[in-house]
Amino acid sequence: MTRTADVVVIGGGQAGLAAGYHLRRLGLDFVVLDAQSAPGGAWRHTWDSLHLFSPAAYSSLPGRLMPPQPGETYPDASHVVSYLTDYEQRYELPVVRPVRVEAVHRDGEFLRVEADAGTWRARTVISATGTWWRPFVPAVPGRSEFRGRQLHTVEYGRPADLAGERVIVVGGGNSGAQIAADLAYDTDLTWVTLREPRYLADDIDGRALFDHATARRRALDEGRTDNGGVASLGDIVAVPPVREARDAGRLKAQPMFARLTATGVEWDDGNRADADTIVWCTGFRPALSHLAPLGLRGPRGHVPTAGTRAVGEPRLHLLGYGDWTGPASATLIGVGRPAREAAREIARLLHG
């Protein structure tokens, strides 16, 4: 069966819902297709101890403040899932799930959205599929020789799963620091980072990051000097568990090793560390394989965009993913603005 919609939103995580909120306000005919069986996007899959790096009110989608989580300044992932579930219901967003979109094709005046649950003919498409679904592990020599277990951030759950093991955590970003802090007490931990860990000042959390990203956008809009984006502030938000482990001397980073061996890792100077498990906290890539038939792929696997609109296909917008679809677009508080811009552009395209 083929259905028709003015807008098909692919992905029903926070970015897809923010898009839905603005499409609804503009009175557009749309549907959100989401591969998950329940609301919450990637937040349904994170490790147990993950907390947001901003307080609830600073982690809100358009229209509705996230309520505080009792007893927590920084809400945990289950609280975000509850908030997104409520958000979806409150605004009666038409999310269909589970529906996995496999491909988007040009089809005359439509974009044909092919999914495991059927086909949609869309005048426009917003892709909001996130990055969690494409974990990235660097090509380090010897990876296939290691006989222990290798996990990525997406597969890590809790310290009890690795208790007593020799664990190597790789990665100097927020996931690496938080997972290393999580494992610092119950495992024999080695933490490996590409460069010396760069902590943000202890009193800086996601609020300051958002302010910095906003100031950067204004500066760029007004042709002033680029402040360097949030990366210029540091890589790691010193959330309380990271700060505690660091201050207790349990987060000593080693430089990146040169290769994996059958039993662990080896540095160029001959030093070695044996391991039962290696946890790769080495990031993500945008989940864009469904867009492959459109032939839009640019440098670093991104689709070149002007704002949120794909440069090579004006009927397609991209939301979330990273700053390349709008400053702070891949955050709860930051996605609202690019979502609004995408919805407005689509309304203009459809109705003049």
| Residues at the interface with ligand FAD (CB under 6 A) | 10-16, 33-36, 41-43, 46, 52-54, 59, 100-101, 128-130, 132-133, 175, 206, 287, 290, 320, 330-332
Closer CB to ligand FAD, 11 or 264, in the complex? 11
Closer CB to ligand FAD, 20 or 320, in the complex? 320
- Say how far apart CA 16 and CA 101 lie, in whole Å: 14
Residues 6+ apart with CB under 8 A from 14: 41, 43, 61, 84, 320, 332, 335
Closer CB to ligand FAD, 13 or 159, in the complex? 13
Angle at 204 between CA 195 and CA 170, to 5 degrees: 30
Q: Which of 3, 6, 11, 94 is nearest to 318 (CA)?
A: 11
Residue 76 is classified by DSSP as: B
Residue 172 is classified by DSSP as: S
Q: Hey, is 202 helix, strand or coil?
A: coil
Q: How far is the CB of 139 from ligand FAD (least distance, A)?
A: 21
Closer CB to ligand FAD, 34 or 257, in the complex? 34
Q: How far is the CB of 65 from ligand FAD (least distance, A)?
A: 14
Closer CB to ligand FAD, 52 or 346, in the complex? 52
Q: How far is the CB of 12 from ligand FAD (least distance, A)?
A: 5
Closer CB to ligand FAD, 79 or 166, in the complex? 79
Closer CB to ligand FAD, 115 or 260, in the complex? 115
> Would you state the structure tokens that stand for residue 342, as one six-digit string?
């995408």
Beta carbons of 83 and 41 less than 8 angstroms apart? no
Residues 6+ apart with CB under 8 A from 163: 186, 187
Q: How far is the CB of 213 from ligand FAD (least distance, A)?
A: 11
- Say how far apart CA 168 and CA 246 lie, in whole Å: 16
Cα 37 to chain centroid distance, Å, stands at: 19
Q: How far is the CB of 77 from ligand FAD (least distance, A)?
A: 8
> Would you state the structure tokens that stand for residue 299, as one six-digit string?
């440098």
> Would you state the structure tokens that stand for residue 279, as one six-digit string?
């946890």
Phi, psi of 21 (to 5 degrees): -55, -45
Q: How far is the CB of 90 from ligand FAD (least distance, A)?
A: 17
Q: How far is the CB of 271 from ligand FAD (least distance, A)?
A: 30
> Would you state the structure tokens that stand for residue 92, as one six-digit string?
């009666």
